[in-house]
Chain A
Amino acid sequence: MEQVLIVDPDPVHAIALKESLEAANYFVSVHRDHRTAMQAVGSQGISTVVFVSSSPSWWRNDLKAFCESAANTKQAMDVICLLRWPSIGPTDRLFGDELNVRVLHEE
């Protein structure tokens, strides 16, 4: 079964996302911050990470740090970044492109 890891500091939001993914037959694990998530990435066969952020100020630093750590693992994985505010232009997506991360906004 495809394994998805959710990194989401908001437990309520994380549970909603987890239940939706499980309903679509994904095996899902949830971590509240990217540091603990990286430990899980090293030990499990994670194929996709959904990185959720509610912080317009910090998400770039956090995502970059996560991607740098992920690059050092043997496991190849895709990262999707879900930002919990509406899109206000192409800059967020362009930043994601630099890291090879698909950036989505929650409308």
Chain B
Amino acid sequence: MRNSGIQEVLAEIEYLRAKRAQAASASPRLVVVHGAHQPLTKCLAGETVEQISLAVHSRVIPLSLSPIGLVIADLLARKRPMLLTASQIEHLLASDPFCVRLGANSPSAPRRVIRLARRSVKVYIQRLRTQLSKTLKAAGVETLAEGILISDSTELSNVMTYRFAIPCEFVHLNSDAKRK
């Protein structure tokens, strides 16, 4: 093996090591993209939830979430830093104006009220954590998904609250912008 090849491999390993150290110390943030946005408003009923991503340094990695998963993650992000139980999430999905009128500004967006049982909400929380884990791994961040989407126990042993422990940023696309 030529010496230049060895040096190149060593240099690359050193670079990757430094990159990992940089990424491991990064604080991720959640980026929520709302579509069908009306000018001069923010996070109002009628908008859509287009995408939710995890941003680490300059990398923005989309979470692979179903439409319902997107709405639950968006709800936790919008209500942050409030602690929400599965029961409150169930209630908000059926009563929060943003959730009830989801996509009303966009003629092409499917409109329906999401009704989920508490048990299903807990399943979606688990799925959301799974996607967060995959994304954190892809970004090389050492933080666990459980440290980003936190479960706290209440005084009732069988009731948990959920919240995002990272900053959440909302990006709005105008209603005349093309849907992705």
Interface of A toward B, CB cutoff 8 Å: 2, 4, 13, 16-17, 20-21, 24, 26, 47-48, 50, 74, 76, 78, 80, 82, 102, 104, 106-107
Contacts and interface: CB of A to CB of B under 8 A. Distances in A.
B145 to A, nearest CB: 12
B140 A104 contact: no
20 contacts: A4-B13, A13-B1, A17-B6, A17-B9, A20-B1, A20-B6, A21-B9, A21-B13, A26-B13, A47-B20, A48-B13, A76-B137, A76-B138, A80-B9, A80-B12, A82-B5, A82-B9, A102-B16, A104-B12, A106-B5
B99 to A, nearest CB: 34
Contacts of A47: 17, 20
A17 B140 contact: no
B20 A24 contact: no
Interface residue SS majority, chain A: mixed
A17 B137 CA distance: 28
